[in-house]
Structure 1
Amino acid sequence: MLYFSKGNIAYASGVNSQSKEFIQRIERNLGLDKPLLTQYKIWLFKALKGDFGVSLLSGESVVKMIKERLFNTLILSLSALSILFVLSIILAFVEYHFKNSFIEKMIAFITFNFFALPPLVLALLFILVFGIFWNFSSWIDFSDDNFLNQLKHLILPILVLVLSHLAIYLRIVKNFIHESFSQIFIQNLYARALRQREIDCLVLRYSLGSIIAYFGSTALSFIMGAYIVESVFNYSGLGSLLLESIIFKDFPVVLALLFLSVLSAAFFTFLSDMIARALNPKLRKFSFA
């Protein structure tokens, strides 16, 4: 899809009125005039050896560019995912204990309204509300190198990621929690007059493995959502780098980032599965296809 798109590395200088001869000369110098499969074969053989090439835009090593931004993306993604994990569990228990009440309906109403907005739209709305209407411009300017200020700048991107995914994650976690409460051994605990807090802890322990497994299986979609949010907030992470590379068809960077994203998703899926099985060796097999 990127190969057949209209973008071109020749327009990276910002001049749109380039002659065809100039564009062809640049493509020939960079080897972009070769057939698609030939270009991909050359890149793949080098990538298998650990050589991801250099950026067509900057001439820098692709590995070096990724290393410079990887930490920022991990901070944003893991922070948002951790908050999402804890918040989903808390709200799932709240909804269970307040079934068919106003509280449950309000939680569903609020979360699904945020879920109805794509992360791109929600990020733009947050910039409009907080940056323009409420004049919290310091939350959006990422140019400050101070660590504490950078933490403040993460508030809006994390909020966008959490709110845009909360409804679906809450629904899945709620299903696991409610199913655990319906188990016979949990019902027997009520007959033994255990306190509700103790029963909740046992239910959480029983369902935690399945919840972790689900979060790991959705890692790739969450990472892609984080990339979009990064590009909107001009956050110096892999997302803004990926968007810029797609616009100008910087093939080495795009392919390396996609390769890294899929590899990371496979790693988190494997890790979550191992953690889930360690927590519950008799964990049932769920299909998240």
Structure 2
Amino acid sequence: MLLYILKRLLNMIPLLIGITFLSFVIIQLAPGNYLDQLKMNPQISEETIKQLEESYGLNQPLIIQYFKWLLNALRFEFGYSFSYHLPVLELIKERVGNTLFLSVVSGLLAWLLAIPLGIIAAIKPNSIIDKFIQLFSFTFMSIPSFFLAFLMLLLAVNTGIFPTGGATSINYENLSLFEKILDRLWHVSLPAFVLAITSLAGLVRLVRSAMIESLSSDYVLFAKTKGLKDKDIILKHALRNALNPFITLLGFEIASLLSGAALVEIIVNWPGMGMLMLDAVLSQDLYLVMGGLYIGAIMLIIGNLVADILLAKLDPRIRQREVEGVLN
């Protein structure tokens, strides 16, 4: 397993470099930069602009700028934000926890609901329950997450069912630990519900189809002839073998949750990376954009690594093939 993890980590190094280099080039190719906004201010002299360009290294060739940034980024030193005049790492620390919290809560909610709903639909295919679950799945698969976020925000504003804006209450610091946990869960409920529902819709269909295929397999029929209970057959045999494709999808789910979270955060005013990155892009804050992309890429890579490890744990054949590839 250790060799398997080491190989996966080594494969992720060029991936991280490729993502950051491509992002850096695209940002630099965009017309203008943050300092162009300062040039419009008559109170700022050209000498001051040149000094700023030199201090930030913006007067150097693009490839040199990138490698200087990369060497600093490997030490998690992302420089200073042009617009906020604060270290980029400090700004990211304030927001990344909220984005991770939102993604984890919505992901857990989606998976905890998708598995039992998919099993119920697979046990009784083409029944009323199955048709209702499929109708639910098709409906919310066709609704974009941003549109659902607008609808839920409108509902929250008019009814007060969900809190809007902010990650905590005003008196958060005065609450007990248990009350703080409940308060955080209450404030994340709106964006988490939106992300969970849109993710759940697709997962239910996948669980249903995988379970139907697994329940009709030879080993399940053999288990039935041995007189095993239906509960044991479903949970210990059919579900275990049906989970492999979903562990593979876990990495993609993390990616979709993180990308979807950014848009939902902006709509519902959740203080995560989404709003921070939007402000950075609009103001052409190069180092803040790159710092956010770097952290986002690392989170996606870690998510895919976790999915690979879980898949190898469930299926030793995958682990054995990877180890043999390393040794050869």
> Shorter-chain TM-score: which interval?
0.7 to 0.9
Within the candidate set 217, 225, 231, 2:260 is matched to 225
Listed as ranges, the matches of 1:193-272 within 5 Å are: 193-202=227-236, 203-272=238-307
Percent identity over the alignment is 28
> What is the CA deviation profile of residues 83-134 of structure 1, one whole-angstrom value per residue up to 9, with x for unaligned ones?
11111111110111221122222222222222222221111111112212x2
State the TM-score, normalized to the length of structure 1.
Answer: 0.84
Correspondence 1:140 to 2:164:
yes
Q: Which residue number in structure 1 is paired with residue 176 of structure 2?
A: none
Asked whether the 8 Å contact 2:119–2:207 carries over to 1, the reply is no
Q: Which runs of 5+ in 1 are unaligned?
A: none
Change beyond 3 A, Cα 1:7–1:184 = farther
Asked whether the 8 Å contact 1:231–1:239 carries over to 2, the reply is yes
Asked whether the 8 Å contact 1:53–1:62 carries over to 2, the reply is yes
Alignment partners' CA distance in 2, 1:220 and 1:47: 21
Asked whether the 8 Å contact 1:210–1:283 carries over to 2, the reply is no
Alignment partners' CA distance in 1, 2:151 and 2:223: 47
Q: Which runs of 5+ in 2 are unaligned?
A: 1-25, 173-179, 321-328
Q: Which residue number in structure 1 is paired with residue 18 of structure 2?
A: none
Within the candidate set 43, 63, 82, 2:108 is matched to 82
Asked whether the 8 Å contact 1:209–1:275 carries over to 2, the reply is no
Q: Which residue number in structure 2 is paired with residue 111 of structure 1?
A: 137
Q: Which residue number in structure 1 is paired with residue 95 of structure 2?
A: 69
Listed as ranges, the matches of 1:148-163 within 5 Å are: 148-163=182-197
CA positional deviation for 1:45: 3.4
Secondary structure class of the residue paired with 1:154: helix
CA positional deviation for 1:216: 2.3
Within the candidate set 265, 273, 280, 2:308 is matched to 273
CA positional deviation for 1:12: 8.5
Change beyond 3 A, Cα 1:23–1:186 = farther
Asked whether the 8 Å contact 1:220–1:261 carries over to 2, the reply is no
Change beyond 3 A, Cα 1:23–1:117 = farther
CA positional deviation for 1:54: 1.3
C-alpha RMSD over aligned residues: 2.9
Which has the larger share of helix? 2
Correspondence 1:120 to 2:146:
yes
Change beyond 3 A, Cα 1:197–1:121 = same
CA positional deviation for 1:280: 3.2
CA positional deviation for 1:50: 3.2
Alignment partners' CA distance in 2, 1:207 and 1:282: 16
Amino acid at match of 2:129: I
Asked whether the 8 Å contact 1:176–1:211 carries over to 2, the reply is no
State the TM-score, normalized to the length of structure 2.
Answer: 0.75
